[in-house]
Amino acid sequence: MKKFIFILSALFVCYAASAGSLKTETIEDQGVTRSYYVYLPTDLPADAPLVFILHGYGGSANAYVNNSSLTFKQLAEEYKVALCYPQATTDPRPNTGWNVYYPWQIDKMKIDDCEFICNLAKHLHTKYNLSAKNTFLTGMSNGGEMCYLMAYRKASEFGAIASMAGLTLTEMAKRHDYTTPVAFMEVHGTGDMTSRWEGDPTNQYGWGAYLAVPVAVGAVAAANKCMYQETTVLPKIKNQVIFHRYYGSPYGKEVHFYEVRNGGHNWATDSFDSCRVIMEFFKSNMR
Amino acid sequence: MKKIFYLLSMVMLFAVACDKDNTNNEEQIKAPTALEYASVTIADHNAIVIKPEDIAPNAPVVVVATKDLELKTRAAEQLDVNFKAAEHCLIGNYILCIVEVGNDADASFLAEVKNSFSSATKAYLLSYRNEYAYTAAMQIPDTFNAYGCVSATMNATTYAANNFTKPVSFVHVHATENSLYKWYGVEPNYVAVPLCVGALVAINECTHYTTGELLPRDGMGLVSYTKYLGGKDGHEVVLYSVDGANEGWCDAEFEVYNQIWNFFKNH
């Protein structure tokens, strides 16, 4: 009987941990019907923060919503934030992907995904009474590239931005400058064979030329005028994680850089609690 | 007959030998050049100009901005034969101008210093244990062909108030145990070394980097370098980090003057 009560309690705790409501919705944007998921935790207060989570190239919002290693829904209950998982359109290759100036997207993909995310944010702020000031963005791989592009183009729309295994394509750097300081995080594996740590200045691997990851992160730190650095070795779980904190920005915008030694192309959840670290970063940048 | 041949051969050999000697004399490098020292005032700043005595008038000039009075005095009095920074201008065949700087956040006078060497085809600025190379890179980025900094970082107040506006080629040498200009910065005075370098990498639009290590000298710390490449108009940034050393030229650890000069002369 005790066992039965224990199992029931455990099930209840699991259910309560993510007992908010998950909705599938659509919005018209730039002449296209775009779909997305919204997760609203229980007892969400008015003017609650909103966090966007962007999937990778060829991926889907649905896969992210159901990915058990991404603990954002449980964390949304704890931190009382709304989540939005938007779906990318199909690009010219054709694969689902955000328009971040991959070679096959330039001049062929008409959708402006930066505009889309900003329009969707405004829609959700109104519809669910969410905080425009405290809207945050994270994404992995192609979604991480969107994080850099948004930092270039729409930094003022976000309290903070966190890229996972994201890149700065040189095309982004050619077209845009960082004009608005923004709190920024990058988590990247030094052994990432898809989005290479050392960069790809000659487009050897086909994603378009892109900056070395430390150079890309350094550019954001320079734009924020971060002046001081702390480097901490986190307790080792799987891959060793080195945390570089760039701070002292006159704008109050820090840059956090998690270097996952020998880490691959993923959220690095097996090496540290990356989803919680992102949520804490967003919390520390509430306005 | 054999005797005649023998004598003829000897005469020919002697002639060749004499000719060879003459050729050698012509090719011989001139007697070692001495250094000329001159104390001067340029743009209201005390300076010492050191140059090989027979240097070409259009030779490049390296301006070293320093607050180190001891160093300046040593140069002025020509006492210290181990003053390797001065001796290196013999090897590199350039003019060295050591100029005394204060704590002013304005580096524009360094343009006047450079202009006082109007015949020099190229001019380089190196700041030793002060931030003037960074300040000059922000304020007068077109004045020098390349900039360098040894054992100092940017002043935080200057950095907060100024921006890098143009690409500049820059070399930075820093010891990881520098107790004054600490590697990770000193609040609220000095910017962290990686962030100083990162700001230049950003303005130069460098895309990637290479890393390497120099062969360690006995008992000395490891010297590693990071070269940031792919910058606009060929501008690059190089950071030498010297494990364990403190302030100073780090010349016990590696051929710092050669490395800096090799960087300069490529720009």
Chain B residues closer than 8 Å to A223 by CB: 202
Locate the domains of chain A by residue range. 22-284
Q: Is the pLDDT of residue B192 over 90?
A: yes
Q: CA-CA distances (angstroms) from residue A167 to A146, B63, B213?
A: 9, 39, 27
Question: Does the beta-carbon distance from B195 to A173 stay under 8 Å?
Answer: no
B161 has a chain A CB within 8 A of its CB: no
* Distance, CA of B122 to CA of B107 (rounded, Å): 19
- B140: distance to nearest CA of chain A, Å? 19
Residues 6+ apart with CB under 8 A from B176: B183, B221, B241, B242, B243, B244, B245
| A21-29 and B61-66 strand pairing | unpaired
Residue-wise pLDDT tens digits, A159-209: 999 999 999 999 999 999 999 999 999 999 999 999 999 999 999 999 999
Q: Is the pLDDT of residue A14 over 80?
A: no
- B236: distance to nearest CA of chain A, Å? 13
Question: Does the beta-carbon distance from A222 to B206 stay under 8 Å?
Answer: no
Distance between alpha carbon A218 and the CA centroid of its chain, in Å? 18
Whole-number percent of chain B with pLDDT over 70: 82
| ipTM value for the complex | 0.91
pLDDT band at B28 (very low <50, low <70, confident <90, very high): very low
Amino acid at A173: A
Ramachandran sector of residue B220 (left: φ over 0; alpha: ψ -120 to 50; beta: rest): beta
pLDDT at residue A76, as a whole number: 98
Fold of the domain built from segment(s) A22-284? Rossmann fold (3.40.50)
Question: Does the beta-carbon distance from B192 to A227 stay under 8 Å?
Answer: yes
Question: Does the beta-carbon distance from B208 to A215 stay under 8 Å?
Answer: yes
pTM score: 0.89
Count Cβ atoms within 10 A of the Cβ of residue B31 and give its class: 0-12 exposed, 13-18 middle, 19 or more buried.
exposed
Tracing tokens 């980097």 back to the chain, one arrives at: B209
- Most distant pair of Cα atoms in chain B: their distance: 95
Tracing tokens 């104390």 back to the chain, one arrives at: B39
pLDDT at residue B25, as a whole number: 44
Amino acid at B266: N
Pairwise pLDDT comparison (A53 vs B98), residue with the higher score: A53
Q: Which residue of A has its CA nearest to B228?
A: A215
Q: Which residue, among A146, A97, A34, has the nearest Cα to A105 in the 3D structure?
A: A97
Q: Is the pLDDT of residue A251 over 70?
A: yes
A225 has a chain B CB within 8 A of its CB: yes
pLDDT at residue B74, as a whole number: 58
Among A198, A219, A228, the residue with its CB nearest the CB of B202 is: A219
* Lowest-confidence segment of A25-34, A258-267, B5-14, B137-146 by average pLDDT: B5-14
Residue-wise pLDDT tens digits, B205-251: 999 999 999 988 888 989 999 999 999 999 999 999 999 878 888 98
pLDDT band at A11 (very low <50, low <70, confident <90, very high): very low
* Lowest-confidence segment of A120-129, A241-250, B17-26, B66-75 by average pLDDT: B17-26
Q: Are A124 and A50 in contact (CB under 8 A)?
A: yes
* Lowest-confidence segment of A4-8, A159-163, A168-172, B39-43 by average pLDDT: A4-8
Whole-number percent of chain B with pLDDT over 90: 63
pLDDT at residue B3, as a whole number: 53
Residues 6+ apart with CB under 8 A from A210: A167, A168, A169, A170, A195, A199, A200, A201, A216
* Distance, CA of A143 to CA of A137 (rounded, Å): 9
Chain A residues closer than 8 Å to B209 by CB: 198, 212, 214-215
* Distance, CA of A135 to CA of B224 (rounded, Å): 42
pLDDT at residue A160, as a whole number: 98
Pairwise pLDDT comparison (A263 vs A3), residue with the higher score: A263
Give the mean model confidence (pLDDT) for residues A213-235: 98
- Residue A52 dihedral angles phi and psi, to the nearest 5°: -90, 135
Q: Is the pLDDT of residue B267 over 80?
A: yes
